[in-house]
């Protein structure tokens, strides 16, 4: 297509220079909106007919031509012109090329300001719906792992130090609930996105008798935006998405870090599937957790995307400013990254092998049952702060003796407190420690089973 004058050029004696055209164009990002732009124009044309601003023949001709333009784009027969700046002007110029003055009527009662907002919201509705489906798949993968690994017992950590024993199923459910909250954040982002901006105009609406509720229904929006000034300047719905994406990636990064550590020779808790690892170009022995490392690394780009858009918006006066053209790059980056991660993570989790034999020696380290002894003494009537000190002395004695709690006789236990008796010993097992923690949300296997049931019920209520 040869260069054309911009559709707004009437006030100008000359067109922008070539460098300015290249600098100001947005086609490299917003051409992705061509389907949404055409859908918006077709709905707008139908509305103009219903309110009497187009005749039936005019509306039919415009609708047919817009359909043809969409097919031309899909076949690669229509390529955009940088001189026309963006997807909206290119499609409208092509419509005028096909229909003459009739094509120019499509822009009646609208502006590129509300047009791009409409395109963007339609685009985001599709993408968020796709991401939510993938997030739901991730939740299902975590539930499946929790069911598989409920009887696998591992050390739990605080400060990366051995703390208390837990069920591996409890661990997987911890991430289930984190990612479930991420789904709810994404659902909120979808809800705030699902509002129709079309008809807000450049900033103040229009004197023409348009009906925004008609386009709301035709485009499948849940509601119509309330204030024209707010509508063309609002990018909150994108911030909602970027916040949801950021917390999702933070959780992915933390999960990745755990699994990377557990995959080391030092921990040796798990074996990662070969399909998500790579080797070294020099060292033939290496099996590197590249997928997890990349997910951890890509988190920074999504966090930066949120900061990018927030910084863009922080000083903008009402209403539309060209700065807002730059709202797409960070959002598209976050969409791409989140989609890639969700395409990999569920399968990776499903294929992890837990190495119970390697985990077993770790369960004897770090006095994992110290809190159980303290709580045993609480049941004997000893104040908790006293039990904390008593058990600390027992730990110190074991370290001096080079043994664990299992190496202490009853007589030795009684030196720490006379109320300790034979009934302590059945509690000094990893299984008893795990299953004894029956407080709501605890690691007892009965509680993990309850969480799994609650998790399945929660998934069943996710609708979008």
Q: How many residues make up the chain in this entry? A: 464
> Diameter of the chain by CA atoms?
102
CA 167 to chain centroid: 27
Q: Please identify every residue annotated as catalytic.
A: 159, 280
Radius of gyration of the chain (CA): 31
Cis upstream peptide for 319 (omega within 30°): yes
155 and 362 Cβ atoms separated by less than 8 Å: yes
Q: Residue 129's closest CA among 62, 191, 201? A: 191
* Exposure b/e, 317-352, CB count within 10 A at least 16 = b: eebbeeebbebbebbebbbebbeebbeebbebbeeb
Distance CA 93, CA 96 (A): 5
Residues 6+ apart with CB under 8 A from 273: 348, 351, 352, 353
* C-alpha closest to that of 172 among 137, 144, 151, 153: 144
Where in 219-334 does DSSP place strands (E)? 223-224, 270-271
The CA distance from 342 to 130, in Å, is 10
CB 354 within 8 A of CB 168: yes
* Distance in angstroms (rounded) separating the CA atoms of residues 294 and 271: 18
Contacts of the segment 436-442: beta carbons below 8 A, 24+ positions apart: 436/372, 437/164, 442/170
Cβ-based neighbours of 93, under 8 Å, separated by 6 or more: 4, 7, 81, 84
Nearest one of 464, 352, 459 to 138, comparing CA atoms: 459
- Give CA–CA dist 234/320, Å, rounded: 9
Both tokens of 464, joined, read: 């979008």
């Amino acid at each position: 297509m040869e260069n054309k004058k911009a559709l707004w050029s009437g006030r100008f004696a000359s067109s922008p220079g070539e460098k300015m055209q290249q600098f100001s164009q947005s086609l490299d990002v917003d051409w992705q909106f061509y389907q949404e732009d055409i859908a918006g124009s077709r709905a707008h044309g139908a509305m103009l007919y219903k309110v009497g601003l187009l005749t039936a023949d005019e509306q039919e001709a415009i609708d047919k031509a817009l359909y043809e333009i969409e097919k031309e784009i899909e076949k690669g027969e229509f390529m955009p012109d940088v001189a026309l700046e963006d997807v909206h002007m290119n499609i409208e110029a092509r419509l005028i090329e096909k229909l003459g003055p009739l094509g120019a009527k499509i822009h009646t009662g609208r502006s590129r300001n509300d047009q791009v907002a409409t395109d963007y919201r339609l685009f985001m509705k599709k993408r968020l719906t796709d991401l939510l489906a993938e997030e739901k798949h991730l939740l299902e993968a975590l539930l499946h792992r929790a069911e598989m690994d409920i009887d696998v017992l591992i050390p739990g950590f605080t400060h990366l130090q051995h703390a208390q024993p837990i069920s591996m199923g409890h661990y997987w459910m911890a991430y289930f609930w984190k990612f479930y909250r991420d789904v709810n954040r994404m659902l909120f982002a979808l809800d705030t996105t699902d509002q129709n901006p079309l008809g807000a105009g450049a900033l103040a609406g229009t004197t023409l008798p348009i009906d925004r509720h008609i386009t709301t229904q035709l485009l499948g929006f849940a509601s119509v935006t309330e204030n024209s000034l707010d509508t063309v300047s609002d990018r909150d719905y994108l911030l909602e998405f970027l916040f949801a994406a950021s917390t999702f990636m933070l959780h992915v990064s933390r999960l990745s870090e755990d699994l990377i550590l557990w995959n080391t020779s030092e921990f040796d808790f798990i074996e990662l599937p070969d399909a998500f690892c790579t080797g070294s170009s020099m060292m033939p022995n290496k099996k590197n957790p590249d997928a997890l490392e990349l997910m951890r690394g890509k988190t920074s780009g999504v966090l930066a995307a949120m900061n990018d858009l927030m910084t863009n918006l922080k000083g903008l006066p009402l209403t539309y400013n060209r700065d807002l053209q730059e709202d797409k790059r960070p959002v598209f980056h976050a969409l791409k990254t989140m989609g890639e991660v969700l395409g990999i993570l569920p399968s990776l989790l499903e294929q992890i092998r837990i190495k119970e034999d390697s985990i077993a020696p770790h369960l004897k380290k770090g006095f994992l049952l110290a809190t159980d002894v303290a709580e045993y003494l609480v049941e004997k009537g000893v104040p908790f702060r006293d039990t904390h000190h008593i058990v600390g002395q027992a730990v110190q004695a074991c370290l001096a003796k080079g043994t664990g709690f299992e190496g202490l006789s009853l007589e030795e236990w009684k030196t720490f407190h006379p109320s300790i008796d034979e009934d302590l010993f059945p509690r000094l097992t990893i299984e008893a420690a795990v299953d004894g923690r029956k407080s709501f949300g605890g690691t007892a296997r009965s509680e993990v089973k309850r969480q799994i049931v609650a998790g399945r019920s929660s998934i069943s209520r996710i609708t979008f």
